[in-house]
Chain A
Amino acid sequence: MGNSLALYNPPTRVAEEFAMIDCISGGRLIAGFPVGTPMDTCYAYGTNPSMLREKYMEAHDLVMKAWTEKETFAFNGRFNQQRYVNIWPRPVQEPHPPVWIPGGGSVETWAWCAKMDYVYAYLSYYGYKAGLKTMQGFWGEMEKLGKDRNPYRAGFLQFVGVAPTRSEAMERYAEAAEYFYGRCLHVDLKYASPPGYNTEATQRVGLESQVRAAAEAAADPSKGKDALAAQGTTGSTTGTRFNMVAKTMEDIVDRGYVIVGSPKDVEEQLREVAVNMNVGHLMLLLQYGNMSKDLAKYNTKMFADHVAPKLRPLFAEWEDKWWPKPMEKANRAELPAFAPRVQAAE
């Protein structure tokens, strides 16, 4: 579950809501702390883009302290001041649920994940081909910071469609995939870059690569053109990318946004994705665009029955320290005999 930390006042609301989910699920929560997209955080919620990241970091500190501090405490922050922090409920998982940080490829986020020992989850939406460079950058940074290559430090989002054969998969999932890439990522350019949303360090990296691409274009027009085009595809905002995005099923699959095929095809490709990117947590989207409930259930079942078991042994040599630790079965509540939804439906 993800919750944009800077949007809540006070952020202890996030601590309590997440803790409630952790309780209800018997300790199965992964706490995702996204910064949030420009459109939702700054334009729709009205959060000041210049303070967004400062508020995010402070809210993170407050939530973590609220989860781990056993006594009531006062929080005297820059943006949040609470005399009595005393959350209820508290999370089941000790010392707190695992934390995953969804990010778009900024070096600062990687360094922070390394420092805090959190999972870095790259939600690219553009598949493994576009994501490879970012994940290589991530691992390069981990090496620089002296961190091991435990693949479970990383998560990667990937769209998947499974059917008995590749051609059937192409046919079944085309409508949903084309719906998603043709409509769901569109953000008007005017809402793409509220000032301050991207840190100056991130702006600098982007501008330096633009300058390099322009220099390449000047030196060698054919090569430079590719460099400039690549910038558009992997640009820093959904707005800048939208026009470059593939919108037909052939292109979508060709570029790796969605992995489709028979269980064996999908298994092979996902194995390649996981190994090449060294990613232990694949966050798979098996429902996307306008996919019907039946097809989503079918896709999920196909994946769970025929693909997932084959991938489980991958990275067995590493310990996943970032996976939820549910309560012992003996400690869980028994399911109630009364099922109100079933009764209501009847």
Chain B
Amino acid sequence: MPFERMNDPLPPTTMRLKNSKEFLPVSEPTTTTIDINGHACRVWTKGSGPKIGWLAGFGGLPRWTPFLDELAKTRTVIAPSLPGHPGATGHNLLDSHLDWIVAARQVIVKSGLEGEDIAGSSVGGSFVAEFAALWPHKVKRIAMIAPWGLFDEKDPATDVWAQRPDDQPGVLCANPQIWQDFKAVPPGANSVEWPIEQIRASEAAARVFWPLGNTKIEKRLPLILAPTLLLWGEQDRVMPRSYADTMAKLIEGKTTIKTVPGAGHLADLDQPAATAKAILEFMS
């Protein structure tokens, strides 16, 4: 029963930053769904121009973001939800990393992103890398913000699942308020089901990456042939900056590393304009 317990359909809720009107949306995305293993996964689409895919970071996309609006100014943004992330269920059918990679491939293909530019952040970034490694001729260019998949005990990644509730926003974003706004229950939403959906997103990430975030992605990075942009928030408190260098050395395609000033792990949330600009310039 894939739809059991899911929220009543709500219009996409755009993040409204306190004291900022700069990134208010001009319009809402359209919502469609794709079927992954019998479960509906939401796909948000907005903008016009060449397609760009977006696989969101830790926590998924509970609402549309200013960053995606920036991309949508010149591109058709297609943002599918991975299983278990907001707008999608079915994570608990996926028992192995292979199951997840196959599901992520279905998500990418069914949302019409095969052969297109694809970007992703943290959790989503890891699947962008896997897709580009295993189906190297099915992507154009890829951009990844602090993707997961490596673990170096000399420079360990932070355990995002072992944070006190008050500390978690500051671990994920340079500006903790941004994460709090991103995850806050929107007016009219179900105040019981909404938080469950947010925990489910964390669980879905845990199902793939528990306990260390280590999927041994280093074995597959050399298979990536696409031109690659690695973006890192200058204040990323989750993924060490050294991982960018490790990844860049292993990826076969031409790889560029850029840091985003004033951004934490989820750079697209902290610095929407700068992050979008870096990706759009790379993919122009």
Interface residues, chain A, with chain B CB atoms under 8 Å away: 42-43, 46, 48-51, 54, 78-79, 188-191, 194-196, 200, 203-204, 207-208, 211
Contacts and interface: CB of A to CB of B under 8 A. Distances in A.
Interface stretch (B106-114, B163-171, B225-233, B276-284): B163-171
Nearest 9 CB-CB pairings of A with B = A50-B207, A195-B203, A196-B203, A195-B202, A48-B210, A46-B211, A207-B192, A189-B164, A190-B164
Contacts, number: 62
A195 B196 contact: no
Given A79-B95, A190-B162, A200-B5, A207 B195 contact: yes
A51 to B, nearest CB: 7
B13 to A, nearest CB: 20
Given A196-B203, A200-B200, A211-B192, 11 more contacts: A50-B91, A50-B206, A50-B207, A51-B95, A51-B207, A190-B164, A195-B205, A195-B206, A196-B207, A203-B196, A207-B195
A333 B104 CA distance: 60
Contact of B191 (A190, A191, A195, A211): A211
A49 B192 contact: no
Nearest to B168: A190
Interface core residue of A43, A191, A196, A203 (most chain B CB under 10 Å): A196
Contact of B163 (A48, A78, A190, A207): A190
Nearest to B162: A190
B167 A49 contact: no
A78 B195 CA distance: 29
Contacts of B223: none
A191 B210 CA distance: 14
A46 B161 CA distance: 12
Interface core residue of B5, B162, B163 (most chain A CB under 10 Å): B162
Given A50-B91, A190-B167, A191-B162, A200 B196 contact: yes
A195 B204 CA distance: 8
A194 B211 CA distance: 10
Contacts of B161: 49, 194-195
Contact of A48 (B191, B196, B207): B207
Nearest to B199: A195
Interface string B183-201: 0000000011001100110
Given A49-B206, A191-B162, A203 B95 contact: no
A123 B167 CA distance: 30
B92 interface: yes
A204 B196 contact: yes
Given A49-B203, A50-B92, A188 B210 contact: no
A200 B92 CA distance: 12
Nearest to B160: A195
Contacts of A54: 92
A285 to B, nearest CB: 29
7 contacts: A43-B211, A49-B210, A50-B206, A78-B95, A196-B206, A204-B196, A211-B192
Contacts of A203: 195-196, 199
Interface in B205-262: 205-207, 210-211
Contacts of B199: 195, 203
Contacts of A195: 161, 199-200, 202-203, 205-206
Contacts of B95: 51, 78-79
Contacts of B92: 50, 54
A188 B206 contact: no
A48 B206 contact: yes
A189 B166 CA distance: 10
Interface string B5-40: 100000000000000000000000000000000000
Nearest to A50: B207
B165 A189 contact: yes
B199 to A, nearest CB: 5
A208 B192 contact: yes
A195 to B, nearest CB: 4
Contacts of A190: 162-164, 167
Contacts of A208: 192
Contacts of A207: 191-192, 195-196
